[in-house]
């Protein structure tokens, strides 16, 4: 098939084209055009001239497979991971870290302008990490048999094919050591591994968690059964080789599901939890606990939320979508009273435990959907001076935003993991008299296209 220069030929699937990459989309794919037809190219970046094969043609866009880089970007670099091209993880490894941060700043700025229709919001440069490797405190590895060989690795892009990986550059190095020991144990003791197409086999996943401040390590073996044969041999292998191991757990998951963890845990060594800190606050972490995977940047993000809250000690604060109460505890230092709301009951139980663990008495946690709980407590006369929201990727429910507008807090601090829904919600609040003053993006997940943002929103008195 012939190569054609962008703009000079009809657009045909499986044809080759030469395309100028003029930007990057929210998934980190390069964006170019063929005769004004948008094309997304994974592995390409802004400023590059590339040769592609058009592998998908939809109504308004196409997807190109990168064949050759004809003119590389100055920011292009060699990926640090041997599994980069197949793994579904770190999609931005091909550009240097400075360019990654610039991309994330531009993404937030442009999304706020385009979706939120807001032109006068100050978007700061993204706060990155001094060392953007080995930053994750939790690793989850699928376990499989590939051509008769036990593989503990990662899923390939857009599939459940498990690919081997000798070392993952964003996981804590301890997790790589644990993986080698567990794989060796499975092979030496003839332990079966799970086949998700048949629903058969014992070991499904390996999960590791590490307290970055304490050094404590938890190992969780997810099994499709009630027990693990020769488990004492695994305990001895792990504890004799990795002194930091404080907890080894079996997690029982016998359901035919993509959900990694089941609801039941069995301790086979040490304690049920490990501990870690965010700032001055201590947290007990179980296999099922939600805990931010990048503790270094979590502290940066939460300190920014506390700064934007502007607390003096007199305020009542609502912390909505509060999870295990991490932001609530930060806010409690300078607030009169904090109410945390979270829909997951287990998370609320953890939040209450964390408050007790840290001797914090001015927080109260409630179970329920924020969009239902907040209108209820507002109707009973409880109002907030400051509201902090940290919603899932879908953003805030419309009824919750309506209640916040009616309650008229002085400030809203919005912590977001999705620039698109953030921009949508900021646009709604702007129409109702709340102004987004400034946005601070924080790079919680280096080498991926994800970016967190913290936004200061004030009531416009005009």
The DSSP 8-state label assigned to residue 289 in this structure reads -
Rg (CA), the chain: 24
Q: The tokens of 129 are what?
A: 């990490």
Q: For residues 91 and 126, what is the distance between their CA atoms, to the nearest angstrom?
A: 18
Q: For residues 406 and 414, what is the distance between their CA atoms, to the nearest angstrom?
A: 17
Q: Are 122 and 131 in contact (CB under 8 A)?
A: no
Q: For residues 309 and 28, what is the distance between their CA atoms, to the nearest angstrom?
A: 31
Q: Are 379 and 399 in contact (CB under 8 A)?
A: no
What residues contact 186, with CB distance under 8 A and at least 6 apart?
143, 150, 193, 203
Q: The tokens of 453 are what?
A: 């943002």
φ, ψ of residue 340 to 5 degrees: the values are -105, 135
Q: Are 416 and 452 in contact (CB under 8 A)?
A: yes
Q: Are 341 and 366 in contact (CB under 8 A)?
A: yes
Residues 35, 40, 44, 46, Cα dihedral to 10°: 60
Q: For residues 399 and 416, what is the distance between their CA atoms, to the nearest angstrom?
A: 18
DSSP bridge partners of 265: 251
Residue length of the chain: 462
Q: The tokens of 291 are what?
A: 């805990």
Q: Are 357 and 282 in contact (CB under 8 A)?
A: yes
Nearest of 454, 375, 459, 462 to residue 411 by alpha carbon:
459
Q: Which of 6, 90, 396, 417 is catalytic?
A: 417
Q: For residues 85 and 119, what is the distance between their CA atoms, to the nearest angstrom?
A: 38
Q: For residues 349 and 353, what is the distance between their CA atoms, to the nearest angstrom?
A: 6
Residues 315, 316, 320, 326, Cα dihedral to 10°: 70
What residues contact 149, with CB distance under 8 A and at least 6 apart?
none
Known catalytic membership, residue 396:
no
Q: For residues 14 and 381, what is the distance between their CA atoms, to the nearest angstrom?
A: 63
Catalytic residue set: 417
């Amino acid at each position: 098939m012939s190569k054609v220069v962008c703009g000079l030929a009809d657009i045909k699937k499986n044809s080759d084209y030469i395309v100028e990459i003029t930007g990057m989309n929210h998934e980190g794919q390069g964006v170019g055009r063929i005769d004004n037809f948008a094309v997304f190219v994974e592995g390409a970046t802004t400023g590059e001239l590339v040769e592609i094969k058009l592998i998908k043609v939809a109504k308004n866009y196409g997807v190109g497979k990168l064949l050759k880089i004809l003119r590389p970007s100055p920011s292009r670099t060699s990926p640090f991971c041997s599994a980069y091209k197949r793994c579904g993880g770190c999609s931005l490894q091909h550009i240097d870290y400075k360019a990654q941060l610039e991309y994330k700043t531009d993404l937030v700025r442009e999304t706020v302008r385009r979706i939120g229709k807001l032109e006068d919001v100050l978007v700061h440069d993204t706060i990155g990490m001094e060392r953007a490797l080995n930053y994750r405190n939790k690793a989850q590895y699928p376990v499989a048999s590939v051509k008769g060989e036990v593989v503990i690795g990662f899923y390939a892009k857009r599939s459940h094919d498990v690919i081997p990986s000798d070392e993952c550059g964003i996981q804590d190095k301890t997790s790589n050591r644990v993986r080698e020991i567990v794989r060796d144990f499975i092979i030496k003791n003839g332990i079966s591994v799970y086949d998700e197409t048949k629903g058969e086999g014992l070991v499904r996943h390996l999960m590791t968690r590490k307290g970055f401040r304490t050094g404590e390590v938890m190992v969780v073996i997810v099994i499709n059964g009630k027990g693990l044969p020769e488990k004492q041999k695994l305990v001895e292998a792990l504890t004799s080789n990795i002194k930091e191991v404080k907890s080894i757990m079996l997690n029982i998951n016998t359901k035919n599901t993509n959900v990694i963890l089941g609801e039941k845990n069995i301790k086979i060594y040490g304690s049920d939890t490990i501990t870690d800190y965010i700032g001055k606050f201590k947290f007990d972490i179980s296999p099922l606990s939600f805990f931010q995977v990048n503790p270094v940047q979590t502290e940066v993000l939460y300190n920014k939320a506390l700064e934007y809250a502007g607390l003096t000690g007199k305020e009542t604060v609502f912390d909505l979508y509060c999870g295990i109460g991490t932001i609530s505890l930060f806010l409690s230092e300078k607030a009169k009273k904090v109410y945390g709301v979270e829909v997951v009951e287990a998370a609320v139980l953890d939040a209450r435990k964390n408050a007790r663990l840290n001797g914090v008495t001015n927080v109260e946690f409630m179970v329920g959907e924020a969009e239902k709980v907040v209108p209820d407590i507002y109707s009973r006369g409880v109002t907030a001076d400051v509201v902090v929201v940290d919603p899932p990727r879908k953003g805030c429910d419309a009824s919750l935003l309506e209640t916040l507008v009616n309650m008229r807090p002085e400030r809203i601090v919005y912590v977001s993991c999705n620039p698109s829904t953030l921009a949508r919600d900021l646009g709604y609040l702007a129409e109702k008299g709340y102004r987004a003053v400034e946005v601070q993006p924080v790079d919680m997940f280096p080498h991926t296209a994800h970016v967190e943002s913290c936004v200061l929103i004030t009531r416009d008195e005009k």
